[in-house]
Amino acid sequence: MPVPETKPDPAATLRRGPNAARRLATRIRLLDAAIACLHERGYHRTTTTEVIERAGVSRGSLLHQFPSRTDLMVGVAEHIATLRGEAHLAGASQAPDGPERLGWLVDVLWGQVSSPSGVARLELMLASRSDPELAARLGELNARLEARHKELVWSQLRRMGLSNRAESDALVALYSAALRGLSIDALFPEAQTQVEAAVELLKQLLMDRVRGGPGAID
């Protein structure tokens, strides 16, 4: 699970004055509205006009926070990264040790990628294929988050006595891609039961992989 981006401290914002608090509240409303639009309507049907209407703010407020649509979309991606980091940190102290911790990480990531913000994130990833500016800016963010994610999992596996860093990184790539794919299937209600079973099977396979079974990580 990616380590969260540095985010504004609400208490510090309040200390800076009511204007800073209002700007932060406006920013969050805009980002949440954009996530809802991306989830419900997709990238190409998400307009700044609809985001403004959903957020209940003025166009000037949007332009002050995000001068362009691309700025808004990158802001959404950063916001989603923060939400995922918060989800990880929220239960980290109660997470199990050993191989079961890897299963817990999968549960946390699945909860995020299958949520509205997860669908919004997929929309941004797919849109970046045909939008060079978005691709360049998301590429930098994705590379940073992926590196942090891999480092987090590696630190967990190393504490379990494992020593194969390359396989640890491949493991992250495997379950991340698998969960993204399953989140697409989960958009169809008739597939829910099979998707849930697949997530549980993925967890079991990963935990078995690090427990020392056949083909275990060194």
- In this structure, is residue 174 part of a structural domain? yes
- In this structure, is residue 18 part of a structural domain? yes
Q: What is the CATH number of the domain that holds 37?
A: 1.10.357.10
Give the pair of three-digit tokens for residue 57: 């703010």
Residue 192's pLDDT is what? 93
What residue type is 109 in one-letter code? Answer: L
pLDDT at 3 over 60: no
- In this structure, is residue 218 part of a structural domain? no
* Number of CB atoms found within 10 A of residue 152's CB: 16
Task: Report which of 126, 39, 117 is spatially closest to residue 109, judged by C-alpha positions.
Answer: 117
Residue 18's pLDDT is what? 67
pLDDT at 215 over 90: no
- In this structure, is residue 122 part of a structural domain? yes
Domain that holds residue 45: 10-211
- In this structure, is residue 47 part of a structural domain? yes
Residue 11's pLDDT is what? 47
The model's confidence at residue 1, banded by pLDDT at 50, 70 and 90, is: very low
Q: What average pLDDT score do residues 138-154 get?
A: 94
Structural domain total, the chain = 1
Alpha-carbon distance values, 28 to 8, 21, 42, 55, 168 (Å) = 11, 11, 20, 9, 35
∠ CA 93-96-100, nearest 5°, is 145
Task: Report which of 62, 191, 180 is spatially closest to residue 122, judged by C-alpha positions.
Answer: 180
Residue 217's pLDDT is what? 60
Give the model confidence (pLDDT) of 8-22 as tens digits.
Answer: 554 444 444 568 888
- Answer with the residue of higher pLDDT: 38 or 89: 38
Q: What average pLDDT score do residues 124-130 get?
A: 95
- In this structure, is residue 134 part of a structural domain? yes
- In this structure, is residue 192 part of a structural domain? yes
Residue 17's pLDDT is what? 54
